[in-house]
Structure 1
Amino acid sequence: MAMRWEAFLGQVKERGRYETTEEAERAARTVLALLGAHLVGEVRAELAARLPEAMALLLLNPLQAHEPLSPERFVRATAAWIEGATERTAAWDVSAVLSVVSDAAGEELTRRVLLQLPVGYDLLFGCSRPV
């Protein structure tokens, strides 16, 4: 079952320690649009089904990626899309969003998502060890 919009943004806001829901939403939209470009097929569809509809649409209609981004480049790309962001704040944004995505997905689906991503994303998803 999909996570509700308010619950999703509430968790992102809390984990990212954002002052406003708008900040949390901006981070979530950017990160999910970039993530969607890295996922394909059933895994992307299953993950989308567990997220609020507006977030699922971002995942299913992603920004175009010409190649898979390493975790470091993913953070840099996030920083480029969020006004006023630095790599440090973008890393915070990515981790806040992806840890909530991981919770919504559950361990088994998160493991399958990570199999589609370059090595090192487990840390961005808040996994202390490779899943």
Structure 2
Amino acid sequence: MAAIGLEEFLEHVRERGEYDTRQEAERAARVVLALLGAHIFGEERSELAARLPETFALILLNPLPAAEPLDPERFVRATAAWIEGATEETAKWDVGAVLSVVAESAGDDLTQRLLLQLPVGYDLLFGRPQLA
């Protein structure tokens, strides 16, 4: 599966998140992918990076190390903390917008393997409850 282009990826995130600007979509994508990169590892992280635009692949592959895995609620709270002016509600929207586009870029097989690395409940953040 080939990598999605930057413009196409951001347009999907912008539409899904109903953002007014490309910059809002990009800000959400950067934060969510930096946090996600700290929670996935190995072949799956590399495979996902290969399916993302280079800018976001680098963010995913070079995350800040996580002290511990974050459950979905704490992942959303961490996202809110990194996005200026965000609340937990808006951060949940941001996470869902980005991760649903990531899941589409990854495909069902890779998304399932990623979900196996994450705490229970991430399937809903990825918009893929059927893969739980």
TM over 0.5: yes
| Offset, 1:52 | 0.1
- d(CA) in 1 for partners of 2:64 and 2:52? 18
TM-score (norm 2): 0.98
Corresponding residue for residue 107 of structure 2: 106
Corresponding residue for residue 67 of structure 1: 68
| Offset, 1:64 | 1.8
* Partner amino acid, structure 1, of 2:16: R
TM-score (norm 1): 0.98
Corresponding residue for residue 25 of structure 2: 24
* Partner amino acid, structure 2, of 1:22: Q
Q: Which runs of structure 2 are paired with 1:42-53 in the superposition (5 Å)?
A: 42-53=43-54
**5+ residue gaps, structure 1:** none
* Partner amino acid, structure 2, of 1:11: H
- d(CA) in 2 for partners of 1:119 and 1:130? 11
CA shift digits 1:68-115 (9 cap, x unpaired): 000000000000000000000000000000000000000000000000
Could you say what the CA RMSD is over the residues aligned between the two structures, in angstroms? 0.6
CA shift digits 1:6-43 (9 cap, x unpaired): 00000000000000000000000000000000011100
**5+ residue gaps, structure 2:** none
Aligned-residue identity in percent: 71
Corresponding residue for residue 94 of structure 1: 95
* Partner amino acid, structure 1, of 2:93: W
Judge which range, 61-70 or 86-95, deviates more: 61-70
- d(CA) in 2 for partners of 1:30 and 1:85? 12
- d(CA) in 2 for partners of 1:58 and 1:106? 20
Corresponding residue for residue 8 of structure 2: 7
Equivalent residues, number: 131
